Structure 1
């Protein structure tokens, strides 16, 4: 039964890949708005105000841009066959520390109420200079909470390295099968360029991230025309050198010192308007039909407009 379930899950993943030829994310008509003033003065900001005009909903629409299959195949031909989540987990080279081994400063960051029932701390030598971002798990990816035979946590990180490009972003793959020993390794998030002959790092903090079937959707920061990037967790490439560079280097391929690189397979672009909404946080809602991606944006407390909350339908190739 486990094998049949696993096979069925992977077939669903292929169906979603096929849907990327059209609208894998389609805006529903249920976009809503909540005013910033209401949200800041009370725990209960009141009823949401629906957005109904075309001008309001057009600012939320995203346009899909697929990375050509030929580009991805060209990368694979040069770097070697892609690997999936299982292979990445098997090569874990770091371990999360149990709360008892965390420093006093790290324990001070734990919530006071409700108290954490279990806590872990990252390998300090691995996270120095990196800032944590969004988290998603295999509980989002599949309804049974597992990816294949594993429970997995994905944690996003970003680093500003002082370059004009703005830094790097990565995702740590955590094997959560054994709560007593959480091993992990990381993959650099990248974007194919030059026809698939090279790639660049994703130069953006990842404030929102959702793992849905075999797709990983991540947000991008202001300054990037793309609002969301899409990655295939079963299309992870191995770096061939531990150099700090990113992309093609003399003698091989580098991923900023990481063992793996995850190239984007698609992106969703904002409309070219002043009021375009950039998703800052995203989450999965399985309570809708079809499943949906809920998004919100960050607006400064002294901003001159409300903060919007809206959703996109997640459609697969088998959906009507």
Structure 2
């Protein structure tokens, strides 16, 4: 990552970053729907009618619900020092499999045109019961396409089976996609601080969209989270200390549904 370029982008994005500094931004359902009241059943319905009244435009605005920094600091003080993307990549859970080791079903999912030159697949042992969702990369985050020394892919997944408490959980795979070796990945559970930063719960939603913007990860959430846009600080990744299927504070430490990292 070129620091000069990163600083330049920070200046350009200062206004946006000011509005995205919190952990969660609530997005009203009205903002995601196209109104049918302006459409008519005719060959020439005419021009769209602009919405100018405050009563019409107010429901379409983002409403910020920021998690206070003191709550995030309290959580970090309890869980231990936060780490960044580099530390997560240096502690992988596994490697993607080469195309020769992929299943026939995985190969059938490859595009026919244009032809694929390099392909990998996820080990079934690590993705069984999870459904893949959105993807973003370090190419979105910084203009040189890298984060530090690495090319990075962030892959979102949602729990599609398991106990009622497990279903709907969301996690991110941090993938080091460098040219010199097979991509390696590390899991981190997406979470939301609760009880004033004394605990956290899992984000219960499909990961339908993600954008990596500088040091922030923007995640769109739908079912279960009220159509919200969550903003995560990638410099605040926390380590889980207990390997269990539960989420949050547990006897002996902190659990992230089997992941070794959590992003609150």
The two structures have a TM-score, normalised by structure 1, of 0.68
Once the two structures are TM-superposed, the CA of residue 11 in structure 1 deviates from its matched residue by: 6.2
**Residue 62 of structure 2: aligned partner:** 62
Asked if structure 1 preserves the Cα contact closer than 8 Å seen for 2:6 and 2:143, the reply is: no
Once the two structures are TM-superposed, the CA of residue 6 in structure 1 deviates from its matched residue by: 7.3
Identify unmatched segments of 5+ residues in structure 1: 37-48, 264-320
Among candidates 50, 53, 56, match of residue 52 of structure 1: 50
Matched, 1:197 2:198: yes
Matched, 1:134 2:134: yes
**Residue 82 of structure 2: aligned partner:** 82
Asked if structure 2 preserves the Cα contact closer than 8 Å seen for 1:155 and 1:173, the reply is: yes
**Residue 312 of structure 1: aligned partner:** none
Report matched runs for 1:206-225 at 5 Å: 206-225=207-226
Asked if structure 2 preserves the Cα contact closer than 8 Å seen for 1:95 and 1:182, the reply is: yes
**Residue 124 of structure 2: aligned partner:** 124
| Runs of 4+ more than 6 Å apart | 31-36
Once the two structures are TM-superposed, the CA of residue 113 in structure 1 deviates from its matched residue by: 2.1
Once the two structures are TM-superposed, the CA of residue 178 in structure 1 deviates from its matched residue by: 2.4
Once the two structures are TM-superposed, the CA of residue 256 in structure 1 deviates from its matched residue by: 0.4
Report matched runs for 1:1-320 at 5 Å: 4-5=3-4, 8=7, 18-20=18-20, 52-54=50-52, 57-160=57-160, 161-163=162-164, 166-178=167-179, 180-263=181-264
Q: Report the Cα distance in structure 2 between the residues aligned to 1:76 and 1:175, rounded to whole angstroms.
A: 25
Once the two structures are TM-superposed, the CA of residue 165 in structure 1 deviates from its matched residue by: 7.7
Asked if structure 1 preserves the Cα contact closer than 8 Å seen for 2:206 and 2:221, the reply is: yes
Once the two structures are TM-superposed, the CA of residue 58 in structure 1 deviates from its matched residue by: 3.5
Cα distance 1:32–1:240, how it changes in 2: closer, same or farther (>3 A)?
closer
Asked if structure 1 preserves the Cα contact closer than 8 Å seen for 2:205 and 2:224, the reply is: no
Identify unmatched segments of 5+ residues in structure 2: 37-46
Once the two structures are TM-superposed, the CA of residue 208 in structure 1 deviates from its matched residue by: 0.7
Q: Report the Cα distance in structure 1 between the residues aligned to 2:216 and 2:185, rounded to whole angstroms.
A: 19
Q: Report the Cα distance in structure 1 between the residues aligned to 2:230 and 2:236, rounded to whole angstroms.
A: 14
Q: Report the Cα distance in structure 1 between the residues aligned to 2:214 and 2:198, rounded to whole angstroms.
A: 28
Asked if structure 1 preserves the Cα contact closer than 8 Å seen for 2:159 and 2:166, the reply is: no
Q: Report the Cα distance in structure 1 between the residues aligned to 2:127 and 2:49, rounded to whole angstroms.
A: 41
| Structure 2 residue matching 1:195: 3-state secondary structure | helix
Once the two structures are TM-superposed, the CA of residue 224 in structure 1 deviates from its matched residue by: 2.4
| Structure 1 residue matching 2:60: 3-state secondary structure | coil
Q: Report the Cα distance in structure 1 between the residues aligned to 2:147 and 2:87, rounded to whole angstroms.
A: 12
The two structures have a TM-score, normalised by structure 2, of 0.82
Asked if structure 1 preserves the Cα contact closer than 8 Å seen for 2:2 and 2:144, the reply is: no
Once the two structures are TM-superposed, the CA of residue 143 in structure 1 deviates from its matched residue by: 1.6
C-alpha RMSD of matched pairs (Å)? 3.1
Once the two structures are TM-superposed, the CA of residue 50 in structure 1 deviates from its matched residue by: 6.1
Per-residue CA deviation, residues 118-175 of structure 1 (Å, 9 max, x unaligned), is: 2110111100100000000001111211112211000000003341684210000000
